[in-house]
Copies of this chain bind each other. A is one copy, B any other.
Amino acid sequence: MELYNRTQIQEVVELDQAALEAVEAGFRALGQGRVVQPPILSMAIEESNGEVDVKTAHIRGNERFAIKVSPGFFDNPLIGLPSLNGLMIVFSAKTGLVEAVLFDEGYLTDIRTALAGAIAAKHLARKDSRRAAVIGAGVQAELQVAALKLVRDIDTVDVWARDTDRAEAYAARMRARFEGLTVNVHGDIESACREADVIITTTPSKSPLLKAEHLSNGVHVTAMGSDSPEKRELDVSVMTRADAFVVDTRAQSETNGELKVWAGNTVPFEAHEMGQVIAAGSSPRIGRDQITVCDLTGTGVQDTAIAGFALKRLTA
């Protein structure tokens, strides 16, 4: 059994085509019905404003599977610690023996989350997409654009965040990271989204931010912020306006994602699953002017896929 720390993992795993293909293969297997993926285990530690989630999945026939443990303790920044943390345990799918523990401190979650956004755009966004609107200015606001650039030639980012100073700092970081990238800071969501080919929402919002009036014909939206029963980023009008609506998994979207608005009721449109879109090999976008929307909550199969990918690189 081997142990790896964040630095070792960062040296071999980054946002690249190979990592994207590994996560995409996980989704494809899910869409083909070749994945066992139990519901998320979630526990609140209320007195510390904390929670811990456990996610896992097994791709049938794979040599290994991972179990990911993600603590989120949201008062940590007050004492100089990051909110998010965690590790992945990689098991042999033949014997159940631990092959490795990846003490990635949430790094691989960041990576696989960003890659899911890129995979959504790969299958749903217009191929000539150049301009991305980003709502939020945190880690995923940065990584989602970096991953999106693997699949679309993004030359302009329009950012809006509740805190304008953070949006300005984000713009500076992005200009430094990507030579030639134009980054505009906007004072409201409407203005940020006006020219967007792709809109990415990356916030921990508990009430809807994005409305149908912010969408232009032909836009693709990826909403990756909502991942718990309290969070929401999309107004109902965004979802009913979409020509095609896709989720990572329907069950999770209904509890933790945007479909939770219809909990217990019939969803008034077809919700495709991303794995099925990938497995089918044909996009639900059937025209330049259509609006596509994808809601990501984060799935165990992404964790198993990225952990297996990381371990292969670590032991290569």
Assess A97 versus B81: contact at CB under 8 Å? Given A43-B58, A54-B41, A56-B41. Answer: yes
Q: Which of chain A's residues 6-55 have a Cβ closer than 8 Å to chain B?
A: 36-48, 50, 52, 54
A221 at the interface (CB under 8 A from B): no
B45 touches A52 (CB 8 A): no
Interface flag for A170 (CB, 8 Å): no
Name the CB-closest residue of B to A79: B95
A-side interface size class: 35 or more
Minimum CB distance partner of A50 in chain B: B96
Interfacial chain B residues near A85, Cβ < 8 Å = 96-98
With contact pairs A43-B38, A45-B36, A61-B47 given, residues A67 and B94 touching in the complex (Cβ less than 8 Å): no
For residue A3, CB closer than 8 A to chain B, the reply is: yes
**Chain A to chain B: the 3 pairs with minimum beta-carbon distance, closest first:** A71-B96, A41-B41, A73-B96
Closest residue of chain B to A41 (Cβ to Cβ) is: B41
Chain B residues with Cβ below 8 Å from A54 are: 41, 54, 56, 67
Which residues on B sit within 8 Å (CB–CB) of A36?
43-46
CB-CB < 8 A to A41: which residues of B? 38-41, 54, 56
B96 near A72 with CB under 8 A, answer: yes
**B residues less than 8 Å from A44 (CB atoms):** 36
Q: Which residues of B contact A71 (CB under 8 A)?
A: 91, 96-97
Closest CB of chain B to A70's CB: distance in Å? 9
**Copies of this chain assembled into the complex:** 2
Write 21 A-B pairs (CB below 8 A) sorted by A numbering: A36-B44, A37-B43, A39-B41, A41-B54, A45-B93, A47-B93, A48-B96, A50-B95, A50-B96, A52-B56, A52-B65, A52-B67, A52-B91, A52-B96, A54-B54, A71-B91, A71-B96, A73-B94, A81-B97, A85-B96, A85-B98
Helix, strand, loop or mixed for chain A's interface? strand
Contact status A98-B103, CB under 8 Å: yes
A residues lining the B interface (CB < 8 Å): 1, 3, 36-48, 50, 52, 54, 56-58, 60-61, 65, 67, 69, 71-73, 76, 79, 81, 85, 87, 89, 91, 93-98, 101, 103
Chain B min CB distance to A33 (Å): 13
A40: chain B residues within 8 A (beta carbon): 41
A48 — which chain B residues lie within 8 A by C-beta?
93-96
Query: In the complex the two chains form, is B81's CB within 8 Å of A95's CB?
Result: yes
Query: Contact between A56 and B73 (Cβ–Cβ < 8 Å)?
Result: no
A39 CA to B3 CA, complexed, in Å: 29
| Additional pairs, 19, CB under 8 Å, beyond known A48-B94, A67-B69, A81-B97 | A36-B43, A36-B46, A40-B41, A41-B54, A43-B56, A43-B57, A46-B60, A47-B60, A48-B95, A50-B96, A52-B67, A52-B91, A54-B67, A71-B91, A73-B94, A76-B95, A87-B89, A87-B98, A101-B101
